[in-house]
Structure 1
Amino acid sequence: MKTQAAVLRATGAGRPYNASRPLNLETLTLAPPRHGELLVRIRTAGVCHSDLSVITGSRVRPLPMALGHEAAGVVAEIGPGVSDVAVGDHVVLAFVPSCGTCGYCEEGRPALCSAGGAANAAGDLLRGGGRLCDASGARIRHHLGVSGFAEYAVVDRSSAVVIDEDVPFDVAAVLGCAMLTGFGAVHNTAGVSAGDSVTVLGLGGVGQAAVLGAVSCGASPVVAVDPVAGKRELALALGATHACAPDEADGLLRSLTGGGSRWVFEAAGVPVVMEQAFALTRRGGTAVSVGLPPPDSRISLPALAFAGDAKTYAGSYMGSSVAQRDIPLMIGMWREGRLPVERLVSGVMPLDRINTAFEELAAGRAVRQLIHPGPGPEVTR
């Protein structure tokens, strides 16, 4: 079948992106789902820094690639071997497919699935190869097993979480990355308890999701840190008790806690922010790195702080989440009014404005923008 998708063919485009247009809308051929796969009609896709890092080249991926990894939609076709999903089911797509049999999957850590990680790095689907090609017949790579900036996508069954039909797609899509990553880091990686002090550095979609997670745990104080005043205001509206610019964080935490936070979450993916997160962590506390810096980045930390102050630096990928477990959990909390996910949405655009959306993200003006790919053609085989 034919589908329209946003394709990246080269990195390093200059800004503004709405002028340089690094992503091209192309009509691609999408092969039918194979064994263990689904065809999904994309209804909403989120614009994330993980996509932006591929555009800038800081995250090296094989090109050309159809971008987009945070999405929700409707199952349009089922491949052989899938018996627990029906055509018409609504699904959230998670960006790490899982094999279920590797050591990490058997440990209950599917976000670190060996086969899923290898497939994502290669731009393949979990069961091998790709399903997309352009008008010349050349292969187009998949982004993190989703390629959600498109009318349709073929995904592995393990990438799809079936949800109730009354959950709005604009809520559902944000659950697939921002909330899994930020909320998951608080609930799963850290296991924050009521009364714990929490600081979040970087208030994009993932950072704001961490704020929501901390508030839902009953953490106090919850300090939100970002150079953009509007993002600090949103964090306060979401329940953070305090907010400040980065250069004010040390003084504020000293006045509030006397010695830093029990938990500090870094959601910027910037080395200097990662170092600041550790500095703002109290004795015996833990800094958690959630952002994705360029692969060649390095940080410098005081070595004595590990044994001398019993401080810890932890990493969190996809919030240490189990998508099939945690997305229904978050939907339940959303229904209860404890996770107002819709408040993270800072804009909604059609697919043909995808480059404008990335310029807004790169400029720091957006929290979570959503792309509506449009109705797309009916599926005929």
Structure 2
Amino acid sequence: MTDQLQETSTSGRVEHTLAAIWRGGDDVSLESVPVPPLEPGEVLVRVTLATVCGSDRHTVSGRRAQPCPSILGHETVGHIVAFGGDDELQSVDGQQLHVGQRVIWSETLPCGTCDRCVAGVTAKCRTVRKAGHEAYDSSWALSGGYAEHVLLPRGMPVAVVDDDVSDALAAPAACATATVMAVIERAMPIAGKRLVVIGAGMLGLTALAAAADADASSVTAVDPAAERREMAKQFGATTVVASIGEVEQCDVLIELSGKAAALQEGIGKLDVGGVAIFAGSVAPDGDIAVDPESVVRRHLSFRGVHNYEPRHLIQALDFLQRSNGRFPWTDLVAEPVPLDRIGDLLTGAPGSKPRYSIAP
């Protein structure tokens, strides 16, 4: 069926592709959709693997606002199949792009000219567009990875994936791993520090490994799930506990569970000069109370992280490459299923691994 729906003209241009369109609730339908002619600076990528981020499951369940209908999916790896125009396009690390390269791309597409972009905070661009988050009836219909092809607009940060980084490592790098690189950067310096990570899901496990890689003196994983605590031991955790109440003190607290109560208790565990990174609270989960006097007397710092910058894509791939033999990264991603199963992955019960995947 896929070969029949992926129609091309006599010139070889891809004219139609197969995509899973989310139309609200648990309605996800596979449809043959048109691929527009490429404009100068645009890139067409054939998807080889896409992993399912928890935020997409939140979208389908109604916990998170998202334009609808849309093609979801923002953890994606694929091969370049075509360019628009004759532009000499480059990756974020300066490599010239060409057809056949395996690439990942940023979750965010910034304008590059607003005050936030000029200040280096492109993730918070005033007119930011996001891969896998755009309306199907917008000018960027093919923005999501749950499809056979993705169209990358002009200006999209792209990173080339080396041959020794598998698809299962590369796809999550476009969201989970790159986000963790931004988190670790905000938490620096880490070497010699006592670090605690709340939540041992995909981001939490990656953060544990990154903290170990950055030479933290101790790395504690906090998660109520016994299977996640066991997995944390394989990703750099020197200590695993079921609740933050079991932690004595720490220098760096990284919150990735999205649970306000855990964050509230975790702040109380920070030693003098401690730093708390808020990164998991991407959906409402209640307020926390902060005692200003305690913050002053303990010299505490609170920092928020949401999304990441283009440099973090490169850092993510470099980190995965050098740590591939140290941590069992491929154990985090389930074997891929066909694109027509994506509806089940978005609405079904969570599996035993942090990431589902599809191979269109």
Structure 2 length normalisation: TM-score?
0.84
- The aligned counterpart of 1:275 is 264
Residue of structure 2 aligned with 1:108, choices 116, 120, 124: 120
The residue that corresponds to 2:354 in the other structure is 367
Change (3 A) 1:296 1:222: closer
Checking the alignment, whether the CA contact within 8 Å between 2:44 and 2:151 is kept in structure 1 is: yes
Counterpart mapping for 1:146-295 below 5 A: 146-156=143-153, 157-186=155-184, 188-246=185-243, 249-251=244-246, 253-254=247-248, 260-294=249-283
SS of structure 2 residue aligned to 1:349: coil
Q: What is the distance in 2 between the residues matched to 1:232 and 1:276?
A: 19
Q: Which residue of 1 aligns with 2:3?
A: none
Any idea what the Cα deviations from partners look like across 1:278-329, whole Å, max 9, x if unmatched? 2332232111111243258533333333213222221012255624542443
Checking the alignment, whether the CA contact within 8 Å between 1:185 and 1:316 is kept in structure 2 is: yes
Residue deviations 1:251-283 (CA, integer Å, cap 9, x gap): 3x22xxxxx211111112232233233233223
Residues of 1 paired with 2:46 and 2:313: CA distance? 20
- Structure 1 residue aligned with 2:301, among 312, 315, 320? 312
After superposition, the Cα gap between the structure-2 partners of 1:298 and 1:334, relative to the gap in structure 1 and judged at 3 Å, is same
The structure richer in helix per residue is 1
Q: Is the 8 A contact 1:180 1:326 kept in 2?
A: yes
Q: Does 1:34 align with 2:39?
A: yes
TM-score (norm 1): 0.80
Deviation for aligned residue 1:86: 1.1
CA distance in 2 between counterparts of 1:280 and 1:231 reads 22
Query: Is this contact kept in 1: 2:221–2:240, CA < 8 A?
Result: yes
Return 5+ residue gaps in structure 1 as ranges.
12-20, 133-141, 255-259, 374-381
8 Å CA contact retained: 1:3, 1:151: yes
In the alignment, the residues of structure 2 paired with residue 73 and residue 314 of structure 1 have an alpha-carbon distance, to the nearest angstrom, of 33
Listed one character per residue, the Cα deviations across residues 82-103 of structure 1 (whole Å, up to 9, x for unaligned) are 3132111110122012333333
RMSD between aligned residues = 2.7
Aligned AA (2:73)? G
Determine helix, strand or coil for the equivalent of 2:152. Answer: strand
Q: How far, CA to CA, are the matches of 2:132 and 2:343 in structure 1?
A: 23
Q: Distance in 1 between matches of 2:116 and 2:299?
A: 28
Structure 2 unmatched runs, 5+: 1-14, 90-96
Give the aligned length: 338
Query: Which amino acid counterpart does residue 160 of structure 1 have in structure 2?
Result: V
SS in 1 for 2:204: helix
| Equivalent residue runs for 1:12-161 within 5 Å | 21-80=26-85, 82-84=87-89, 85-117=97-129, 123=134, 129-132=138-141, 146-156=143-153, 157-161=155-159
Aligned residue number for residue 348 of structure 1: 336
> Structure 1 CA distance, aligned partners of 2:30 and 2:117?
36
Aligned AA (2:162): D
Percent identity over the alignment is 29
The AA in structure 2 aligned to 1:175 is A
